[in-house]
Homo-oligomer: A and B are copies of this chain.
Amino acid sequence: MGSRETVEVTGHLMDSGILSRVLDDIREYGGEFVIEEFDVGRDAHDPSSARITVEAPDDDALQRLLMRLQTRGVNQVSHGDAAVATADADGVLPDGFYATTNLETQVCLGGRWLDVDNPEMDCGLVVEESPSGDLRVRTVPLSDVVRGMSVVVGASGIQVTVPDPAPAAEAVASFEGGHGPERPQAVLVRQVADGMRRARASGGRLLWVTGPGVVHAGGVPAMVALVRAGWVDVLFAGNAMAALDIETALYGPSPDGSAPPGHEHGHEHRVRAVNTIRRAGSIERAVRDGVLPSGVMRALVTEGKRFVLVGSVRDDGPLPDVHTDVVEGQRAMRAEIHDVSYCLMMATQLYAVATGGLLPASVPLVCVDINPAIVTRLADRGTGQGRGIVTDVGLFLEQLALELVPDYRRG
């Protein structure tokens, strides 16, 4: 063993299970460790802190391990400036680049700590000089790397901060560990409503990420009511969800509700609905032209809310509003992340995973799905505020509208 470094971590280490994960990481990366100091606090409310020396076979392995540990909020004790290298090709980061977390991050350059502008997962860190000569550090995804950029390499000179669990965790504290269906569902709905109220009261924007299951489960009336009452500021979705919403608006269900909306068998309706919107030119123009009489997409347009639709390989059409280039789509999503202070993900794995990587860890994020596997996967990511609820999306939306929309009545 050759390379070693001393790191430290502070927080509710034991009851959050973080320390256990840190030690798992070290083993997984083939490292060894010695716990130099461990201050456990005394009572239930004290944070604890640990100082650990980690050792890896060589410096390259050590740097990678140190980056890995930063995803848990573990920082190096001794640090000088971060090291920087130059990107020698478009779209490619220098070897040994620092791979980002979505935690609040600071980089030491010229002896000063600079905040990273936009924490995002699995990016590089670019150092830029402003016209006034100030240094600035921001994340850059692989696809946006330009030859000549100055990029941080190695894990030295970088600090991350795990979000303070209060008050967000207060709101959803009882979700803790409970992806399962073992919590009274009515309580969960109320907690989500409270979180949304707090987020809006703080001036932040509410981001929804949804899949076609929202329409299948009959959630359109509730979601339209929530859009109209101002509880949706931005929607991220794919062609499937928007096209199903539009198809249902155009072709059904029958007035007595006897025919199911979004019936899989009527697939031919889907492509016909998409063609109708393509003819109009965009969803917004279809609404203006009176072609699109109802649904979630219409409500977003009439309320002046934002949406980003990104394509996938299974799309029919797609709708003219869909970003068919997924890298462009990611950029469009990134451009809408600002000021988001609450994120609700429903009935979509693909778009939820995509959004989870873009969102700073400090944004509370609730994932609702009837499939426990999806909920577990999303709620388990990193040290963020992710929480999962396994429930029926249709009934969840119904109850959420009853909580948040004063005059909402079951129709």
A interface vs B, CB < 8 Å? 13-17, 19-21, 23-28, 30, 32-36, 38, 40-44, 50, 64, 67-68, 71, 89, 91-93, 97, 99, 121-122, 141-143, 173-174, 176-178, 181-187, 189, 213, 216-218, 238, 253-254, 257-272, 274-275, 278-279, 310-318, 320, 324-330, 333, 350-351, 353-354, 357, 370-373, 380, 390-396, 398-399, 402, 410-411
Contact = CB atoms under 8 A, between A and B. Distances in A.
A8 to B, nearest CB: 14
Contacts of A186: 218, 394-395, 398, 410-411
Contacts of A32: 43-44
Contacts of A33: 43-44
- The 9 A-B residue pairs whose C-beta atoms are closest, nearest first, are A184-B218, A185-B394, A395-B395, A314-B354, A392-B392, A391-B392, A15-B23, A311-B326, A38-B40
A216 B182 contact: yes
A159 B358 CA distance: 49
B181 A213 contact: yes
The interface centre, meaning the residue of A32, A186, A189, A372 with most chain B CB atoms within 10 A of its CB, is: A186
Most buried by B among A27, A213, A262, A267: A267
A185 B99 contact: no
A395 B399 contact: yes
A35 B274 CA distance: 34
B68 A259 contact: no
A312 B310 CA distance: 9
A260 B24 CA distance: 13
Nearest to A320: B91
Contacts of A312: 312-313, 326, 350, 354
Contacts of A370: 181, 370, 390-392
Contact of A259 (B174, B278, B328): B174
A185 to B, nearest CB: 4
Task: Count copies of this chain in the complex.
Answer: 4
A196 B212 CA distance: 31
Which of A23, A44, A318 has the most B CB atoms < 10 Å from its CB?
A: A44
11 contacts: A20-B20, A30-B254, A122-B270, A142-B271, A142-B317, A185-B218, A185-B398, A313-B354, A325-B326, A326-B326, A391-B392
Contacts of A183: 216-218, 260
Contacts of A42: 34-36
Contacts of A313: 238, 310-312, 326, 329-330, 333, 350-351, 354
A27 B348 CA distance: 31
B38 A268 contact: no
A358 to B, nearest CB: 10
A212 to B, nearest CB: 10
Contacts of A324: 143, 325-328
A142 B274 contact: yes
B395 A185 contact: yes
A357 B325 contact: no
A44 B27 contact: yes
A62 to B, nearest CB: 14
A89 B280 CA distance: 11
Nearest to A309: B313
A43 B274 CA distance: 34
A259 B350 contact: no
Contacts of A357: 314, 316
Contact of A143 (B184, B266, B317, B372): B317
A375 to B, nearest CB: 12
